[in-house]
Every structure is written in structure tokens, then in C-alpha cells.
Amino acid sequence: MSLSLPTFGKPLFVLPTLHPTPSILLSIASSSIPALLSSTSISSTSTKTTISHLALLGQTSSHVLIIGVVLHHESEDGGRSVVYTCEITIPEKGIGLNALLGSQARTEEYISLPSTVQAGKVDQEEQVRERSMAEIQKALSKGDLKAANAQLNDLLSDQNTTLPGSFVKALVKVIFETALPDSGKEGESKKRGHYASGMITTLLQKGLVNDEMLSGGVVAAGLLPLADWVSPFSF
């Protein structure tokens, strides 16, 4: 049982637990790094109890939600159900690092995660991307576009690997700064470097590039000065 909450940031949901006492947990919905942000105890009675229903009843402000909880107490005569209401506060600036820093111990109390394995995998992937970026920069500076393209294709060859937006943005910047070394400086320069148009085409075909990834716009500040009339149609 879980209850999704209306938020404008990362998906949040509430779920019940009977450990160590009947409580509701505010959690980030993530398959890779789940985290519990807060826990609210409903009752001090933990024997022969179950949480049977959760409902969003309303809100007192844009960041404070009222949650309804039905707690059933079992007994020989069938037991009784009690409705509780409680407030859950959503961080005003969304779920960022400040909200997550204090959640590690709370998460470990309720959820067992292979954190060291996951962290090791993330670190390893990051190292691979850093090495690839260095090799791409080196190849572009030498005008070896074939080698630069090969590095990018190697990164994209694993179907289970996704390139973070920050990496793609840095890569787009490297490609255009190599092709337009005077980009962003006062006055228009006709100086041109090696332009890896094939890499841009690949990134666009994968849907990894947006126009805001380059100051002034990828189209206006990058593709048009290089007279690349093909790539804009891939956006």
C-alpha cells in the first residue's frame, strides 16, 4: 500500500509500516536510490494492529498535506478501526541535498540497500565517462574526428548505460569550443577548428541534446555559425 503525493519536484509517496510502532513514512520514489525523508508515528500500540487505508484528505498550505490513516486493532470480538489524521510537510524548495543528508540513518532503519555495490557501480561509470571525455578532447584537439566518434560510440554501445545531462552538456561544449575557438568573444571571428558534426548528429538522434546546452543556444551559437544546415532538423 502506498499513497502518491502531488509535488512539483521528485516523486514522493507515503507508505505504512508497523515497525517499531504503526507509522507512516515519507519517501522519494526511486528504484535506484530510495530514501526516507521522515517518519510519523500513528500509535504507540504495536501488537495486533494493521494500517488498512491511507488517503490524502487535503492541505493547509501548498507545502503541508493532511493524511488520513485507518488503524485496525484486532481483538476476539472482531476489533475496531480508528481514523487518524496527521500533517506531512513537503520541503518548500523541493527534495535536494539538504533534505537528503539527514535521511541515511532513517532509510537504513527501514530499508536494506546494497549501498556499497550501488555506489561502486556509479563511481565506476563516472570514471569511464571521465576517461572518455579526456580521450575525446585529446582527439578533437588533434583533428582526429574518427577517434572522437569511436569514443562516443563506445559510451553509447551499452544499452543499459545512459549519459547524464551534465556529461552531454559538457561534451557539446567541448565539440563547439573546438570548432569555434573564439565563440563568446567580442566581434565575429572566422577562425574555425575541427567540427565533429557526426558526434552532434549521433547525440541528436539519441535525443540527448537540447538547445539550452550551449550559451546562446545550440542552433544559433553553434550550428548556424558552422553552416551546419542538417543537424537543426534533428531537434
Q: Which is higher by pLDDT, 124 or 142?
A: 142
Which band of pLDDT confidence, cut at 50, 70 and 90, is reported for residue 109? low
Q: Where exactly are the structural domains of the chain?
A: 3-113, 116-234
The pLDDT value recorded for residue 97 is: 44
The pLDDT value recorded for residue 138 is: 93
The mean pLDDT of 200-219, rounded to a whole number, is 88
The mean pLDDT of 1-27, rounded to a whole number, is 78
Look up the pTM and report it.
Answer: 0.49
Q: Which is higher by pLDDT, 87 or 123?
A: 87
Q: Which is higher by pLDDT, 39 or 225?
A: 225
* 55-101 tens-digit pLDDT: 989 888 777 888 999 988 888 787 888 999 988 877 665 555 444 54
* 147-161 tens-digit pLDDT: 999 999 998 887 666
Lowest mean pLDDT across 106-110, 113-117, 211-215: 113-117
The mean pLDDT of 171-188, rounded to a whole number, is 81
Strands 12-17 and 23-28: antiparallel
Please give the share of the chain, as a percent, with pLDDT higher than 70.
Answer: 74
Q: Which is higher by pLDDT, 78 or 199?
A: 199
Report whether the peptide linkage leading into residue 20 is cis, meaning its omega lies within 30 degrees of zero. Answer: yes
Q: Which is higher by pLDDT, 168 or 48?
A: 168
